[in-house]
Amino acid sequence: MDLNMTGKIALVTGGSKGIGREVARRLANEGCDVVITARNAKDLDETAALLSNETGRRVVGQAGDMSDSADVERCVKAAVDEFGRIDVLVTCAGSSPGGLLEELTDDEWMQSLNLKFMGYVRTVRAVVPRMVEQGGGSVVMVVGNDGLKPSFWEMTAGAANAADLNFASSVADQYGPKGVRLNTVNPGPVDTERWDGLEKAFARDMGVDQAEARRRAEVSIPFGRITQPEEVASLVAFLASDVAASVHGAHVPIDGAQRKALMER
Ligand SMILES: NC(=O)c1ccc[n+]([C@@H]2O[C@H](COP(=O)([O-])OP(=O)(O)OC[C@H]3O[C@@H](n4cnc5c(N)ncnc54)[C@H](OP(=O)(O)O)[C@@H]3O)[C@@H](O)[C@H]2O)c1
């Protein structure tokens, strides 16, 4: 399917690794020029160079911490200075610690909310008014299926994700009539560096080895397997493109129909 994205400008936060890197790769392969953000400038520059070489499009790194409003604003401004506009925004810079109620600290809760919720708020707030001014745009927030179901070991992610989904619905309601389409993509477990860290942390908290933690995650998914980041990237690219022009304010799961907590108690 041709997504008709040639010449569009995309900003992908958290684009140096994992889902964000695959989204940036896919959008560049679809003809977009892409700005990616992350904190570690070395990883970012390596990914930008790799994707530029692979795709023949301009992929540019802009280092910044999405838990800091000034950094978010600086990265968004740099993207506009570089390319003149932002047609597509994909928010992927997030992480929330797993853990049990008795053990999670205030700092861990606040860290999750400050990046996974407020980081997405800051980025959408910086980009959407610019999209309105330029005559429209499309936003995809990569959130997570823990916002849609309870998971006793992933409460911090669940709370931040649920807040993101509510925020996304409100922004969609307000800005759809002004030409900005906004949807969320909600993965279950996806094979990335972050997922590897979560498996290790489950294993620690449950007193099992990592292979057993992975097995328990897999059996919580009816399809019995962990999603690959390329699959998430394909869904994001479709929703970001004009091919999905009538899809707006949707919260789309991509999780092999996982409806249970990752681990049995
Ligand atoms: N993997 C899963 O199973 C899964 C499931 C559901 C939802 N999600 C969500 O999908 C998104 C991407 O997850 P992932 O698994 O791809 O993560 P990942 O492999 O850990 O990659 C995260 C990316 O975000 C960047 N990042 C992290 N903190 C940042 C910050 N404060 N400011 C700017 N960039 C930051 C990282 O680079 P630096 O470290 O250099 O900053 C990296 O580029 C997250 O929001 C996550 O919650 C993931």
The set of residues, in sequence order, having a beta carbon less than 8 Å from that of 245 and lying 6+ positions away, is: 181
Asked if 79 and 170 sit in the same domain, the reply is yes
Same domain, 44 and 105: yes
79 and 203: one domain?
no
Residue 152: its pLDDT value, please?
87
Contact 155, 257 (CB under 8 A): no
CATH of the domain at 170: 3.40.50.720
User: In this structure, is residue 251 part of a structural domain?
Assistant: no
Q: What is the pLDDT of residue 232?
A: 98
Q: How far is the CA of 80 from the centre of ligand 1 (A)?
A: 23
Q: Which domain holds residue 174?
A: 9-188+228-242
95, 165, 235, best to mutate for ligand 1 pocket (most atoms within 8 Å of CB)? 95
Question: How much is the pLDDT for 265?
Answer: 54
Among protein residues, the one whose CA lies closest to atom 23 of ligand 1: 14
Q: Which ligand 1 atom is nearest residue 16's CA?
A: 43
Instruction: Flag whether 179 is in a domain.
Output: yes
Atom of ligand 1 nearest to the CA of 145: 6
Per-residue pLDDT of the chain (265 residues; tens, 9 = 90+): 899 999 999 999 999 999 999 999 999 999 999 999 999 999 999 999 999 999 999 999 999 999 999 999 999 999 999 999 999 999 999 999 999 999 999 999 999 999 999 999 999 999 999 999 999 999 999 999 999 998 888 999 999 999 999 999 999 999 999 999 999 999 999 999 999 999 999 999 889 999 999 999 999 999 999 999 999 999 999 999 999 999 999 999 999 999 877 666 5
Examine residue 256 and state whether it is found in any structural domain, yes or no. no
27 Cβ contact partners less than 8 Å away, ≥ 6 residues apart? 5, 8, 10, 12, 34, 88, 90, 237, 240
Q: Where are the beta strands (DSSP E) in the chain?
A: 9-13, 33-38, 59-63, 88-91, 137-142, 180-187, 251-254
pLDDT of residue 188: 95
Residue at 57 is within a domain: yes
The DSSP H or E segment spanning 16 is none
Mark whether 103 and 232 lie in a shared domain.
Answer: yes
How close is the Cα of 4 to the center of ligand 1, in Å?
27
Mutate to test the pocket of ligand 1, among 42, 76, 92, 236 (most ligand atoms within 8 A of CB): 92
Within a domain: 2? no
Q: Strands, E, within 159-237: which ranges? A: 180-187
What is the count of structural domains for the chain? 2
- Let me know whether 211 and 133 are in one domain: no
Instruction: With respect to residue 132, please indicate whether it lies within any of the assigned structural domains.
Output: yes
In a domain, 204, yes or no: yes
Distance (angstroms) between ligand 1 centre and the Cα of 93 equals: 5
pLDDT of residue 262: 67
Q: Are residues 26 and 153 in the same domain?
A: yes
- Considering the domain boundaries, does residue 3 fall inside one? no
pTM of the full structure: 0.97
Residues 68, 49 share a domain: yes
Atom 13 of ligand 1, nearest CA residue:
19
Give residue 29 CA to ligand 1 midpoint distance, Å: 21
Same domain assignment for residues 165 and 175: yes
Same domain assignment for residues 179 and 86: yes
Distance 21 CA to ligand 1 centre (A): 10
Task: List residues near ligand 1 (CB under 6 A).
Answer: 14-20, 37-40, 43, 65-67, 92-95, 115-116, 142, 144, 187, 189-190, 192-195
CA distance 153 to 158: 9
